[in-house]
Structure 1
């Protein structure tokens, strides 16, 4: 605790300020302090070293500031302001330094015998940080005698700082523990995160201490998926992964093994590893685009349309607001390919900076705005060397080419020239391969796809545009939609008739919006629901990337239902025979493309948009399930077994009846009700943990703000208010933690019960598989496992097992049975 000594300014009688009873100083309205009834009238400093900061023009008072910070007001007499400064002779001026031995002001009391010169001395509460005054001596004192001190609670600030540092370092500590318990970085080849899990490719499972990992702070569960270790953290997984990346980058350890993955693991690993890091860009830019569309339609800003031809239109030709908003939108979406190129190379553990370099080259601004070189033509269609700024697939392919080419060149290029020539060679080959090889291939694909889509416009009764409505968002995934969309736009602009294609693109967007709304309604997971809700505004204004990559595509079925919604929109368009007469905005704002045909056409367009939304939303609500129904899916599998057994020589009917009967007992109404009850408690616990995390963040922010205020001289009242708010949140956090502990106790018991039920279920399945001795149906074991583990798979507490039963497998099983019976 830092002390600043306060000295008496003269001889006299000192008392606490509240005893003055003047109605102003005594209330401490001007700050805490003391007063002195002077016996000598040569006033000196109350601080060891100080500066006179202000002298009142009536000379009855002055401000003095200690070299250590605090400021005091010395007010000589209570009613001396009317004396117009006559009794006071200042020996120093403003901004002059003084000490306890130097005279500041002398009071002439001989000519002013009837004046009371009692002197309040207060420490201004608006200027003295969080300093506190303590009076140590009252009564008779001499000038220069210590009468008290001010203190600044440094220890309190340090404690707050330590707490904040501790909160910030917790994820570093978690990452260090994880790294240790998985066998250090030598024991994993790769790691990345999805929305809730840290996923690590483990070399040697025996080196992983699962029990220790489960006890690490923030860990909610641990799952094995083949050689991939999945550690469930929830929303904080990004912070853990970032800290683990820092640990990795600071070490030079090399892995000593490789793990084999099946195709499904590779694909889903790729989607999580490459797509997830780009989602924040898509979300931010998508929402910004939605805001821009509203501002344009409200005539707040201009619609920026750049051109560089004979009548150029540059960004600076527009207002500053229009230009800045345009930049905020286009940087995210117009060059989205760059982010995918970078993310791909980083996922493959390559040089991310080179990914940016390659992405920027392929998005060269010299090739923007339709400028390109024609390579060759097929009929009236030309294949061009062009930019791939908004294409995803070419950029991802470029990332793969660069990484594997760089790896190959590194193996044979001499070390002496490697640093100079390798990067140039790999960069040039990658870029040229995309421009001259992959580019033309995509060009040919685009020709074929466009010709098919053009044909859709001529299929009557809306059937053609229904097909386009279904396929359009699938084309968005490939990047082919950009070229096709531009051709449709140009044709619409030139002819004033789009054959329904231009409008159907918007209906396809609305279909994905409806699917996202359905997910938000159906999902019990707050994180998924919030992600869906936040992506919807951008979709309404024509930007579907946030919806596709963060919600619908990862969930699978919602993406298909969204495509169906687009198809419904295309079909209804045919019923109304609605065509665009001009080029308009995106999403709902594409209504401007039909306004020239009359307001009835505008109303029809909006009706079809909402039908598209409603169709996919209803499909998701009716048919999408975050987790499968245990009883329903169990009997569905039994029916598959019945179908299989009809084709076998031996009769397994009695075995199957017995299995069904036993499984019905396990999946009794009472047990299924208990599972649902457990699910409700678990969801409540997840929501509590999310709220807990938010409160922690609020407390940390307030504590940081408090420290800044203490250090930068702020009002004590404001600091006290912050303390009250902090305590309020801490009380709330304490209540939430207690409720969460009770919930977790219930969850622990319910989880134990559920595991026992799952074991009973799987034991019946295993016994049944053994009883069918002439037919190897062990392939069904994973199917049944996924059914009875529906709850924990849905909430990422267990990994879903691979299932491979199909018609081909069925024929193989029957064939093997015949062989067994013939032996």
Structure 2
């Protein structure tokens, strides 16, 4: 029975797609919630070829095993109207290639600064659609204003007094007038706090009453207050502080008093610290950043500064640090009415487009030409990730020539001080958001960046022998490991990926693992939140939540590392991956870090099964007999 037929039969025996209210794809099983049990035949599902087990614990669990469960979930997703949380394992699409390459780079972003910028991105990215919509409305209003200028003589100046014009401008300003609230809410959500308290932190920074107070004497200090001091950076720090105060207080507060006292203490202490410490320091920091970018790089640096900014932007993108510039753009807009930084940085995408055109013309490899043709259209629209992660970055040299070519467009725009009225996309989509009617100058800069990326890549950036970097050397089928039939060898040892207490699978409060339905192995109750590779191999499965990782060794042994039980249901960021799918790993390499306290506080069992999912291919799989184990110690002996 193929996967499509299996998916269809499962849905039919669950009473049809209309009877399924929720379907989640875990790494080993499908979890299904139903409207009614009247037309459900679980016994028939148990008999289906490919189904390892079926559990009925309120939520139906159909165990299919790693890999197969994703393929069956994909079939359900593609052939029914059921919304399935699936992990795409396709490897033929150019966009899948780009996603995998991106994941590999993102997985290595483990420094404090890289994680900081990742958090900033999670805070601001959800707001960007609103910024674009609001910016376009203000752009239309500004265009009407310019056309109604008596010198232009195109529109009657009376149009500026109409209700429609004033409404358009008022709605366009709505988000910008309350941006601090949204940033505060998203910050609290990102760090696990109460969102409304984060919103209060944003209101505090931008409260007009602060300007009315003027100065304040606290703790012997005379503080000069003003609305907006510290900017959005101050909002992020304040909302984060509110979240930490809230968590600290809630752990120590009696349940009966929590609802009243925890928010009160959070707001009172958080507000005082924000006014006395955060606002002055954040104000100084934002002034320093603005001074460096505007006064040093753009004004003093001139065209050289513009070149450097445009040419170095994409390396920041690959490590996620570009998201940290969003509050800088917004600060510039708040101070000067537009950000001259954004159009310059947008030239980086133009350099990539030019590089893709050069590669398409020079390449002889048909697969590469098809890849470029697939990703190039979205590049013109300012979506550069498929170009970067799908072609130029894996190839290497074209990424560099594209960056260098983009610098010429940045230099041109810095010369004419072309700005944007809001944060938004790049490429041709940014044209309506350009300030002061400098649309033509922006277009010329974009064409220059296209030309720069094209010329440098065509002359220096691409050679046909580089294609193997994208698609790999040709390898005969005999050289590839067969995951279903491991190579014969007498004995293999797996190292422990965790430090903690050993527990047999049979004791687990999860029937799938306890009955060894997905494979034999052992479980570990970890004492710290670090998961390491138990053997050399390739990462073949990484579940999006980060709670489960699959590794296949060179001999074909398939190992599943599952952090905790039922942890797929955790929506917060308690897992931090350090590897990506298809990445080669070595024994003892850090795969993932996780917050044990956060997991257990949510009521989840942290006991972590380590199983060999193709156990039938081996004669014996014997765990060690001790009760405690350290990372790197022998865990399993496989014959």
TM-score scaled by length of structure 2 = 0.44
More helix per residue: 1
Decide which structure has the larger Cα Rg and report it.
1
Work out which structure has the larger RCO, using CA pairs closer than 8 Å and 6 or more positions apart in sequence. 2
